[in-house]
């Protein structure tokens, strides 16, 4: 009875989001480095080989250095150049909002906040303010092709998750590079302990960031799955993307071409981090069996992440009282993990 209620509610909440487009399937070779797209062979084989090499040498794939210049405005808006240049100039400037916590007697702590797919400029701002109130400065970063980084041709943030295979990998990679540069800025301001908090797509990107950024000591992952491809293939929110993929690529190959942006690829790199995995019992966007699979994979690897279950769905996580339950779980974990006094 509860499942039927929440599943119906989830479908209603999902249907309220307008502007979804079924875009054509593309391999996206033009998003690969010139040396890669010049390789002979079937486009799918070229992409797959590139993705395999990227995942095998992910330290190089996700390598970056601090931005040459960071600008912090009086209103707390931080801007800097992205480490990856895309064809859209507006997307190549990273925007973040900084909320400074009052000084405490313990170590200075900060959290990078990555919101969900298609979040607007106000998404997770309330959560960032709560983090600051509880002793952890927060830096809320806009994802690539979101809000102020979105070109006029888009009404939704389609270019970060789509049926364009190469573009999806590169734009998610851009998000991780942007996140690492954000964390480097926090470290330059004297923060000794830094965590990441991500929701939905932001959760995936947060784990990729934590796996490759040694400055991160704790990761709060809100809605989780082991594989990027599986969520797109099965999820309610990405049904329009799946429609473009059908008949062009199967799930097994989709997993292989999106290997560099899948959390399970880097599970062993999380052993030195404190990890919270949050999932929703009636989630249709990150289906329940996928969340449980990631938890089981952590366990098989000998890791013991903290796990929390929300009694709601994906979209309903943002509705009272569930959003307060979620915030409490996330903030409590980060306070304890970062050692906030």
Question: Which pair of tokens denotes residue 332?
Answer: 């409590």
The pLDDT of residue 341 is 66
Query: How does pLDDT run along the chain (341 residues), one tens digit per residue?
Result: 788 998 998 999 999 888 899 999 999 999 999 888 888 889 999 999 999 999 999 999 999 999 999 999 989 999 999 999 999 999 999 999 999 998 777 789 999 999 999 999 999 999 999 999 999 999 999 999 999 999 999 999 999 999 999 999 999 999 999 999 999 999 999 999 999 999 999 999 999 999 999 999 999 999 999 999 999 999 999 999 999 999 999 999 999 999 999 999 999 999 999 999 999 999 999 999 999 999 999 999 999 999 999 999 999 999 999 999 999 999 999 999 998 86
Separation in Å, CA 313 to CA 19, 130, 206, 278: 22, 23, 21, 12
Paired tokens of 112: 């990078």
d(CA 180, CA 219): 13
CATH homologous superfamily of 2-338: Alpha/Beta hydrolase fold, catalytic domain (3.40.50.1820)
Q: What is the pLDDT of residue 41?
A: 87
Omega of the bond prior to 86 within 30 degrees of 0, cis?
A: no
DSSP letters spanning 98-148: EEPPPP-SS--EEEEEE--TT--TTTTHHHHHHHHHTT-EEEEEPPTTSGG
Beta strands (DSSP E) in 31-99 are: 70-72, 77-81, 93-99
């Amino acid at each position: 009875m509860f499942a039927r209620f929440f599943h119906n509610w989830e479908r209603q909440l999902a249907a309220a989001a307008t502007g979804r487009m079924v875009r054509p399937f593309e391999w996206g070779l033009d998003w690969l480095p010139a040396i890669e797209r010049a390789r002979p062979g079937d486009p799918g084989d070229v992409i797959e080989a590139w993705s395999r090499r990227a995942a095998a040498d992910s330290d190089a794939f996700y390598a970056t250095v601090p931005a040459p210049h960071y600008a912090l405005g009086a209103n707390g808006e931080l801007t800097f150049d992205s480490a990856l240049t895309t064809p859209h100039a507006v997307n190549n400037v990273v925007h973040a909002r900084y909320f400074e916590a009052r000084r405490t007697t313990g170590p200075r702590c900060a959290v990078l906040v990555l919101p969900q797919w298609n979040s607007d400029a106000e998404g997770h701002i309330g959560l960032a303010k709560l983090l600051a109130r509880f002793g952890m400065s927060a830096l809320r970063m806009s994802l690539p092709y979101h809000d102020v980084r979105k070109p006029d041709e888009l009404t939704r943030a389609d270019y970060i998750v789509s049926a364009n295979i190469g573009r999806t990998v590169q734009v998610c990679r851009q998000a991780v590079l942007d996140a690492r540069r954000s964390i480097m800025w926090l470290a330059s301001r004297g923060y000794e302990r830094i965590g990441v908090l991500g929701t939905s797509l932001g959760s995936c990107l947060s784990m990729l960031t934590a796996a490759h950024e040694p400055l991160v000591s704790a990761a709060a992952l809100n809605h989780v799955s082991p594989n990027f491809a599986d969520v797109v293939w099965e999820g309610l929110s990405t049904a329009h993307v799946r429609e473009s993929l059908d008949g062009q690529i199967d799930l097994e190959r989709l997993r292989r071409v999106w290997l560099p942006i899948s959390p399970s690829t880097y599970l062993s790199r999380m052993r030195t981090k404190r990890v919270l995995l949050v999932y929703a019992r009636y989630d249709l966007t990150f289906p329940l069996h996928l969340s449980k699979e990631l938890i089981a994979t952590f366990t098989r690897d000998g890791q013991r992440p903290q796990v929390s279950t929300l009694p709601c769905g994906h979209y309903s996580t943002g509705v009272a009282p569930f959003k307060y339950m979620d915030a409490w779980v996330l903030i409590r974990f980060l306070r304890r993990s970062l050692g906030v006094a």
